């Protein structure tokens, strides 16, 4: 179904209490299937460093990698909003951010995603002024895995939780049009979703976000090694990629995914 999703339509979905579905994709074929099955947002995530390239983190991913996969996804996409990740250290200064984000937009992205909090405010405001919409990413930000000392749930302590709330509010005020929140307690994600006007898309953040995102390899049960608690294998339930995608969209829209077993309290 071609629906030409936009950030304005995503905000309208939030206002109407309709849940947003999002998946990662890295090529034209999967982008075609996901958009046809009604997935609102496709992310060309730097998770490709792990699920496509076989690294143990997202840190080796380059801007050229994301540009290449964004071009592939753009070619197959039939109307989902296309977000491209800015890789590790490609947005460390405002000018570098603007130059590199322009390349992702020229590759076909509708929006770019950056991991981090208050240190990004000038870069985000400048992206908006230059016509580039932004999705911010808070909570467990995988590019900072070496600072966190592992892939750990964030915001369990009150002070850290308050800090994530304040940073989310500041990111929206700077012009972010979407927020991804990863691996935080469900109550904290609910608090942030209620505090913000922009849609909040969760992964490992409970059912009370405005939408959900999954890495496509987790949806299809083809991730090797560690399977995150927040993932759900829809392929084993349906046996078919189209049906697995449709079941995910349906469960997200009805608030059936994620369940408590996929969430952190």
Residues that bind ligand KIV (CB under 6 A): 24, 43, 45-47, 85, 180, 182, 203, 213, 215
Q: Which residue's Cβ has the minimum distance to ligand KIV?
A: 45
- Residue 196 DSSP SS3: coil
Q: CB of residue 115 vs ligand KIV: minimum separation in angstroms? A: 8
Quote the CA–CA distance of 95 and 47 in Å, as a whole number. 25
State the minimum distance, in angstroms, from the CB of residue 202 to ligand KIV: 9
Q: Which is nearer to ligand KIV, 180 or 240 (CB)?
A: 180
Which pair of tokens denotes residue 208?
């009370």
Which is closer to ligand KIV, CB of 2 or CB of 77? 77
Q: Rounded CA gap, 47 and 57, in Å?
A: 8
- Is-contact 251 214, C-beta < 8 A? no
Q: Which is nearer to ligand KIV, 98 or 151 (CB)?
A: 151
Q: Choose the catalytic residue: 172, 182, 194, 261.
A: 182
Q: Where are the beta strands (DSSP E) in the chain?
A: 20-24, 41-44, 81-85, 111-115, 134-139, 178-182, 200-203, 211-214
In the annotation, is 158 catalytic? Answer: no
- Coil vs helix vs strand at 198: coil
The smaller minimum CB distance to ligand KIV, of residues 89 and 240, is found at 89
Give DSSP secondary structure letters for 139-191: ES-GGGHHHHTSS-----SHHHHHHHHHHHHHHHHHT-SEEEEES--HHHHHH
Give 219 or 246: the residue with its C-beta nearer to ligand KIV.
Answer: 219
Nearer to ligand KIV, 181 or 246 (CB): 181
**Residues ≥6 apart with Cβ < 8 Å to 209:** 181, 189, 190, 193, 200, 201, 202
Q: How far is CA 97 from the centre of its chain?
A: 18
Do the Cβ atoms of 123 and 91 come closer than 8 Å?
Answer: yes
For residue 258, cis peptide bond before it (omega within 30 degrees of 0): yes
Residues tagged active-site: 182
């Amino acid at each position: 179904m071609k629906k030409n999703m936009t950030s304005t339509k995503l905000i309208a979905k939030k206002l109407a209490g309709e849940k947003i579905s999002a998946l990662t994709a890295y090529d034209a074929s999967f982008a075609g299937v996901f958009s046809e099955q009604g997935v609102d947002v496709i992310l060309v995530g730097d998770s490709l460093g792990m699920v496509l390239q076989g690294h143990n983190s997202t840190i080796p991913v380059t801007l050229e990698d994301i540009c290449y996969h964004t071009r592939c996804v753009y070619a197959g996409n039939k109307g989902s909003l296309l977000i491209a990740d800015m890789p590790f250290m490609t947005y460390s200064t405002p000018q570098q951010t603007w130059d590199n984000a322009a390349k992702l937009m020229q590759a076909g992205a509708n929006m770019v995603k950056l991991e981090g909090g208050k240190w990004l405010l000038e870069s985000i405001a400048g992206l908006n002024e230059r016509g580039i919409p932004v999705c911010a990413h808070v909570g467990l930000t995988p590019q900072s895995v070496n600072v966190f000392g592992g892939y750990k749930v964030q915001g369990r302590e009150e002070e850290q939780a308050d800090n994530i709330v304040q940073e989310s509010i500041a990111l929206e005020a700077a012009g972010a049009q979407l927020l991804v929140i990863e691996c935080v307690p469900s109550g904290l994600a609910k608090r942030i979703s209620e505090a913000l006007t922009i849609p909040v898309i969760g992964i490992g953040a409970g059912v009370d976000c405005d939408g959900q995102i999954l890495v496509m390899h987790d949806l299809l049960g083809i991730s090797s090694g560690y399977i995150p608690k927040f993932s759900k294998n829809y392929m084993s339930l349906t046996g078919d990629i189209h049906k697995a995608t449709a079941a995910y969209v349906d469960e997200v829209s009805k608030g059936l995914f994620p369940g408590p077993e996929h969430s952190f309290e």
